[in-house]
Amino acid sequence: MNRNLTFVISNEHVDRKLVNYLKFQGNMSTRLTRKLIRGGLITINGTLARSNDLLKEGDKIDVILETKETQDIIPQDIPIEVAYEDVDLLIVNKPPFMVVHPTRSHIENTLANGIMNYFKITNQDCIVRLVNRLDRDTSGLVIIAKSQYAHQGMAKKLDNNQIEKTYIAVVEGRLEGKDTIDMPIDRPAPESMKREVMEGGQRAVTHYEALVSSDNMSILSIRLETGKTHQIRVHMKTIGHPIVGDSLYGNVSEYIDRQALHAHRLRFSSLRDNIDVEVLAELPEDMKKLYEIVEQSSLVDKNV
């Protein structure tokens, strides 16, 4: 997969500065453009480019993104379920109970270790640039950008709510219909791991729709409009329906030994050609079993 970029200037962009053309037509920040120019990685008709170069019709701009990069993450032979891959992105279905990125106390057996190994065995000179993250016990889709260009582009989409993120969750109690939760979230104290709905916090918006409901549990499809830490878990607790198995914000469960939350679907437009991309991740086994329990229970409740 060739990650490099090539642009040929048409008449409508004549006399534009290179840096402005790459910002608006190439989705490249001014900072990234200047960094690549300093490194000699952008040329116009084979000649090293400058930020303020004025473009002429027919000019060929080449941007080199495939550069040698290193990262202090140990490649490990950890199975990686690839849900989607193109020249810019790798999207994987993270299993539950796996930490996404190494920490001082947990430097091995993370998703990032497995991804580094995947890049190694597929001969891709990439480092792990995470676009989104999931909690250790949350399963589902994680986006990895293969270059600074791709990371910057996807991060911008994320900030502008241009990546549609849908989760499947099982919550306590009966919840029916659909609704939107618009409640600000923040830490009650700087050292706190938990978040709370609190006045003056950051705006957080969660849309949910009940798929199956029983007296004890309900299965929800949840779409995030914002992406705050623990947003779904905090919002569901606040409305009185904590996620099943969520020991931090709710209760442990006899049915599942983690929070029943799965990042199920992503939808966005591709970086280079603006094509609609939809990626789905199948439920892991523990949530499939829980799903069946709720469905069976809902049928019993209807017959009572």
Mean pLDDT in each 10-residue stretch from start to end of the chain (304 residues)? 89 94 90 91 94 94 84 93 97 96 87 96 94 95 96 92 96 97 93 92 96 96 94 97 96 96 97 94 96 87 59
Question: How far apart (Å, rounded) are the C-alpha atoms in residues 241 and 205?
Answer: 16
Sequence ranges of the domains in the chain? 5-63, 68-160, 161-304
Question: How far apart (Å, rounded) are the C-alpha atoms in residues 247 and 257?
Answer: 9
The beta-carbon contacts of 81-86 under 8 Å, at least 24 apart in sequence, are: 81/281, 82/118, 83/141, 83/279, 83/280, 83/281, 84/277, 84/279, 86/1, 86/270
Predicted confidence at residue 71, as pLDDT, reads 86
Same fold, 68-160 and 161-304: yes
User: How many other C-beta atoms can be found within 10 angstroms of the C-beta atom of residue 220?
Assistant: 24
Predicted confidence at residue 235, as pLDDT, reads 98
Predicted confidence at residue 304, as pLDDT, reads 53
Predicted confidence at residue 69, as pLDDT, reads 79
User: How many other C-beta atoms can be found within 10 angstroms of the C-beta atom of residue 181?
Assistant: 19
The fold for domain 161-304 equals Pseudouridine synthase (3.30.2350)
DSSP 3-state of 256: coil
The dotted CATH code for 68-160 is 3.30.2350.10
Phi/psi zone of residue 112: left (φ > 0), alpha (ψ -120 to 50 degrees), beta? alpha
The dotted CATH code for 5-63 is 3.10.290.10
Predicted confidence at residue 9, as pLDDT, reads 95
* Beta partners for residue 89, in sequence order: 145
Predicted confidence at residue 177, as pLDDT, reads 96
Q: Is 77 a catalytic residue?
A: no
Catalytic residue among 53, 59, 88, 135: 135
